[in-house]
Structure 1
Amino acid sequence: MPDRLTARAAIAALTDDFEELTVPGESAAPGRDGDGPLTWAGYADSRARATARTGEEESVVHGLASIGGRRCVLVSFEFGFLGGSLGRRTGDRLEAAYEAARTRALPLVSLIATGGSRMQEGMVALTQLQRVARASARLRAAGPAQLAVLRDPTTGGGWATLGAGADVILALPGAQVGFAGSRVRPPAADPHAYTAEGQLAAGQIDAVVPPGELPQAVAHWLRALHAPGSPALPAPVPDALSTTGLPESGWDAVRQARSPARPRAEAYLDAYFDHRLPLGGDRCGGTDPGLLCGFGRRDGRSIAYVAQCGTATRPAGYRAAARVIRLADRLGVPVLTLVDTPGAANDAEAERAGAGAAIAEAFAAMAEARVPVTTLVIGEGGSGGALALAAPGNTHVTRDSYFSVIAPELAAAILKRAPQEVRATADQLRLRPQDLVELGFARSVVGPPDRL
């Protein structure tokens, strides 16, 4: 089991400085409301013992902090105070923290360690989750990012609000993470599903970060999730990474794009960004290793990215892409997409996972984006599965790429043509990079940098 730091030790381990905030309108202090709203016998005594043991008067501490030179509002849970549970006064403090972030236009960072809602306050405690949800929605509407760090344990309402509702979710290794705590989950449940590592594999969180790396990781994220107040400038178009010439025929274009030696998304991202921070999963239980997305830094700027890796993109990939594009749009961060897929996955599993709805969500996110989106087609542009991540009016292509309404083999099959007619069909589709510019789909054919 991971070590459990106190709320203030967790703050000290993460921050450069911290200034605690108070809540003048906070609900009754310990002892003043007796045994609480349910008159639960002994509740006041339990609170008094928790205070004596931890030095805290409630299960959360909040204030203004600096992490790696970046200012934020910080919330830290004290698990030693009644299991870090959420009660009425916890709701007061959490609501105040969200409001402080909103009024100061600062990101909110939550260090969560909680067993859920406080039974001794019954429904009064449970409804604090609605307060947190409303406060989170107000902050989201105002713009600032929300980042959660899941400590051990993160369960119940704390996971289902501050944790799972954050824009970026990091977790400490081995932390228990799940809506059901260890005392209420089914006896036969797979314990791995309730760990940080299990939630990462299921696409529910973004990264598992060792304690020693956490301050740097949070600082990187706070920097990446920040955009200047002025309108965002488009992400620069990446240089092509190969010296391949323009294809003479449509089939030559297809052959070049399908070459195993062609540079792929990982190489483009490494060449483009000074530093990047991946986001993982669709928050719906799925991941797609064939789609990379996250935020990166380039020449002091933040740019979000979505990059296909040459495989058929799965529903989880499209949902993750939509999530990143919408987050970037809210924060005012420009987006770069790299298109490279033979098409959307169309196997039975993909259909059961909602391929059509996921692709529609990606199309909608691109259409709704107010920030500029830049697209470079670096390989195959296979039908709607590729078009869903292509920026209307700002798509560029490399010489070793193509884009087509459908793969030439499938087009020939649909048209009931013989296999030997596939190459001629590729020419008829006008899918070459130079054709795409002439047709008005692409703005330019991008060549390699001068140093190549």
Structure 2
Amino acid sequence: MNPLGWPGYEAQLARARERSGGAESVSWRRRRHAVVITFDFRFLGGSVGTATGAVIEEAFTAARAAHLPVVSMIATGGSRMQEGMLSLRQLQRVARLCAVHRAAGLPHVSVLCDPTTGGLWASLGAGADVVVAVSGAQVGFAGSRVRPSDDPAYTAEGQFAAGTVDLVVPPDDVDSTVATILDVLTRGDAVPAEVPRALGAQELPDSGWGAVLRARAPERPRARAYLDDYFDERVPISGDRAGGVDPGMLCGIGLRMGRAIAFAAQTGTATTPAGFRTAARLIRLAERFALPVLTLVDTPGAANDAAAERAGVGAAIAELFATVAEARVPITTLVIGEGGSGGALALSSPEHTWITPDAYFSVIAPELAAAILKRDDVEALADDLRLRPQDLVELGVVRGITDR
């Protein structure tokens, strides 16, 4: 095909076919558990033209008919210059195919090989449910010939740091990683997650301030310990897809006795806007695949510095509140440490929240409440706030106190 009458294009296509052994830059194959789309960079740099778009559509159509996930193995320089705007319009075609596939409730996993640049990164690649990048791969909207520098931002690792890639893995681990992702995404049963057992103290605190000190103790078990104890295997989901990552919000999907359960867990730090957005993204992903959700609450509160305000912390918390409220899958919450204000409540189930004996939940930290109320008796104020686990049960804020 030569829709623009581009000089020498037919000869370029002939050479590309001879070099690659394929008819186009993309091919697909139906395997047992997925339809796999594969790019060949030897064919005009893996570029996409009108015929390529037709092949991609054929693959998605076959996957939808067989009710199978799609795996996109991408290696491309972007749109094919020799077909002009007809090539660029394939991005809309691909976006529509991804949207129809998503509406059918079917997973799409993209694997970003070296290189993945241009419009296909911004459509087929970044638009997948889970994005895996090959370590060291060149990844970015701008290709090497048009970008201003060789900044690390244009790498798999740079994209991971920016929150647009879920995992970066060595080439030899790609197949096993994708197989695990497909496995957990296709095990949804929408049955509520079991409440984790308490790993720390078993006795209840005598005072409100005692509860606060115990929750802040360095030796108290944190989220990673709870996730290790609860799950047999985990697949991380990282980044808010808007340029941010919060290391203090651990998200992913785990296997527990054969069941797949999505999780979002705070690690004891102030949660940033990226953390709230990542948790909201995780819950929406779980909803698509009927995965129950487990949330672990442990934060002194939402980040409240100027950077957080500029990044839209209020809007990010509102988004998470709405996502939890609208979720069509069961959400189970365990407060395992500090439950500080709205930053903790946003991650909590309205009906199915539990607490450990070494945790507390409060409208605000006692010290901040004292500053607002102009009181000096912080310890007495902690009692007045009724933030102990047993107080929260009596008030109906939590359903119960978990034990070993």
TM-score tier, shorter chain, comes to over 0.9
2:276 is aligned with 1:318: yes
The CA distance in 2 between the partners of 1:224 and 1:82, in whole Å, is 36
The CA distance in 2 between the partners of 1:299 and 1:245, in whole Å, is 29
Classify the secondary structure of the residue corresponding to 1:262: coil
The CA distance in 2 between the partners of 1:344 and 1:273, in whole Å, is 27
Instruction: Summarize the alignment of residues 382-397 of structure 1 with structure 2, pairs less than 5 Å apart.
Output: 382-397=340-355
2:247 is aligned with 1:281: no
| Greater Cα offset, 325-334 or 57-66 | 57-66
Letter in 2 for 1:154: T
Residues 425-449 of structure 1 deviation map (CA, whole Å, 9 limit, x = unaligned): 111111110111111111110012x
The CA distance in 2 between the partners of 1:434 and 1:94, in whole Å, is 57
2:371 is aligned with 1:413: yes
Gaps of 5+ in 2: none
CA shift at 1:263, angstroms? 0.4
Classify the secondary structure of the residue corresponding to 2:10: helix
Residues 150-173 of structure 1 deviation map (CA, whole Å, 9 limit, x = unaligned): 111100011001111111111111
Please name the residue that 2:401 is paired with.
445
The CA distance in 2 between the partners of 1:274 and 1:215, in whole Å, is 20
2:379 is aligned with 1:423: yes
Residues 98-125 of structure 1 deviation map (CA, whole Å, 9 limit, x = unaligned): 2222222211100000000011110100
The CA distance in 1 between the partners of 2:252 and 2:154, in whole Å, is 25
Letter in 1 for 2:186: H
Please name the residue that 2:18 is paired with.
52
Gaps of 5+ in 1: 1-32
Please name the residue that 1:240 is paired with.
198
Q: In the alignment, which of 189, 213, 217 is matched to residue 259 of structure 1? A: 217
Please name the residue that 1:99 is paired with.
61
Structure 2-normalised TM-score?
0.98
Classify the secondary structure of the residue corresponding to 1:417: coil
Please name the residue that 1:5 is paired with.
none
CA shift at 1:344, angstroms? 0.2
- How many residue pairs match? The answer is 404
Please name the residue that 1:6 is paired with.
none
Letter in 2 for 1:309: T
Instruction: Summarize the alignment of residues 266-415 of structure 1 with structure 2, pairs less than 5 Å apart.
Output: 266-415=224-373
Percent of counterpart pairs with the same letter?
A: 65
2:162 is aligned with 1:202: yes
The CA distance in 2 between the partners of 1:289 and 1:232, in whole Å, is 28
CA shift at 1:377, angstroms? 0.2
Letter in 2 for 1:367: A
Structure 1-normalised TM-score?
0.88
Q: Is the 8 A contact 2:164 2:241 kept in 1?
A: yes
The CA distance in 1 between the partners of 2:64 and 2:381, in whole Å, is 57
Classify the secondary structure of the residue corresponding to 1:125: helix
Please name the residue that 2:46 is paired with.
84
CA shift at 1:148, angstroms? 0.7
